[in-house]
Amino acid sequence: MSNTTRNRVLRSLLLNQKRTVNELAEAVDINPISVRHHVNKLEAEGLILSEEERHGVGRPRLVFSLTPKGMEQFPQRYLQLTLRLLEQLKSKLPAKVLGNIFKEVAEGIADDLTRDISLEDLDLKERLELLQEVLTSEGFMVNIQEDEGNFYIVESSCPYHHVGEDFPEICMMDQELIAHFVSSTPQRVECILDGDKQCKYLIKEKVDEV
């Protein structure tokens, strides 16, 4: 595979996180058959991943996005800038204040994402289905599991992982998003930053106010 084509495919996914084969073909100016060959190789190397996505009526479409390993193929200027800004904030602010900043950012994101949705009209399962869509759109790989009346949100990848290695406070982001949707405080039972293979949150069947 041409290194030039390889980089163009990866860069296209860097600029637009989820793209179909046809969208990639248009972006890198090669035919869809060639793109399919390239993405298969990139996925085998663990640089990109594919998933089915609902898109209107009909069968789900297959979309591709970068994995954390794929992100590492690019100069991490934005990541470095983010880390330096957070280092300054952490050195000058009390831990509680920094935690509140992350919490307020997450609350703002959640408010924006649900501005046109009445969560009060949805039961817990419907809220979780909607939450799964939102977290996926934010870059998480998410599954919802049910066990003996309780639900678990399982995140097998996290878009904040690189930042979280130095600033675990960023876990507030998905925790607050989850809390906003289910109207209760999720219990984290596993965490990638603690060495687990996934982040896992327990959601009780009963929905209480946060």
What DSSP line would sit under 1-20, residue for residue? --HHHHHHHHHHHHHSS-B-
pLDDT attached to residue 207: 44
Residue 172: partners with Cβ closer than 8 Å, 6 or more residues away: 99, 102, 103, 106
Q: pTM of the entire structure?
A: 0.59
Distances in whole angstroms, Cα of residue 38 to Cα of each of 16, 150, 173: 17, 41, 34
Indicate left, alpha or beta for 91 from its phi (over 0: left) and psi (-120 to 50: alpha).
alpha
Is the separation of the CB atoms in 68 and 79 below 8 Å? no
State yes or no: pLDDT of 15 exceeds 70.
no
Model confidence pLDDT, tens digit, residues 195-204: 888 899 999 7
pLDDT attached to residue 189: 93
Q: Where are the domains of the chain?
A: 3-71, 77-203
Beta strands in the chain (DSSP E): 48-53, 61-66, 141-147, 150-157, 187-190, 199-203
pLDDT attached to residue 208: 44
State yes or no: pLDDT of 7 exceeds 80.
yes
CATH topology of domain 3-71: Arc Repressor Mutant, subunit A (1.10.10)
Residue 150: what are its φ and ψ, rounded to 5°?
-105, 160
Mean pLDDT for 123-144 is 84
The residues pairing with 142 across neighbouring beta strands, listed in sequence order, are: 155
Q: How confident is the model at residue 69 (pLDDT cuts 50, 70, 90)?
A: confident
Its CATH class, for the domain covering 77-203, is alpha beta
148 vs 36, more confident: 36
State yes or no: pLDDT of 205 exceeds 70.
no
